[in-house]
Amino acid sequence: MASAAISRGEVLHLYRSLLRTARQFCDYNIREYTKRRTIDAFRQNQNLTDSAAISAAYSDGKSQLDVAKRQAIVYSLYAPTIKSVMEA
């Protein structure tokens, strides 16, 4: 994928997927951290113009999405039984 140009639609799909995955976390703190980190990373990279830098940021985002999906599954298996005060 490094040789092909990354379209705006692909980037938006990655952004939405990361935010959707963040909503799957049971714990409030982890959910909000994942959401905040996603938003901050995309804001930091919004002014990239070099296609190589865009491809690198996109592939990093895809790997972060894979990690977040795996972690959401693991956290759901070991979710705390008591809700946070932030969720009450």
Residue 43 lies in a domain: yes
Residue 88 lies in a domain: no
Confidence at residue 2, expressed as pLDDT on a 0 to 100 scale: 47
Residue 32 lies in a domain: yes
Residue 57 lies in a domain: yes
Confidence at residue 83, expressed as pLDDT on a 0 to 100 scale: 75
Confidence at residue 88, expressed as pLDDT on a 0 to 100 scale: 64
Q: Give phi and psi for 15, each to the nearest 5.
A: -60, -50
pTM listed for this prediction: 0.85
Residue 86 lies in a domain: no
Q: DSSP secondary structure string, 2-69?
A: -SSPPPHHHHHHHHHHHHHHHTT-SSHHHHHHHHHHHHHHHHHTTT---HHHHHHHHHHHHHHHHHHH
User: 55: domain range?
Assistant: 8-77
Residue 85 lies in a domain: no
The tally of domains found in the chain comes to 1
Residue recorded with tokens 């795996």: 70
Over the stretch 27-71, which tens digit does the pLDDT of each residue have? 888 999 999 999 999 999 999 999 999 999 999 999 999 999 999
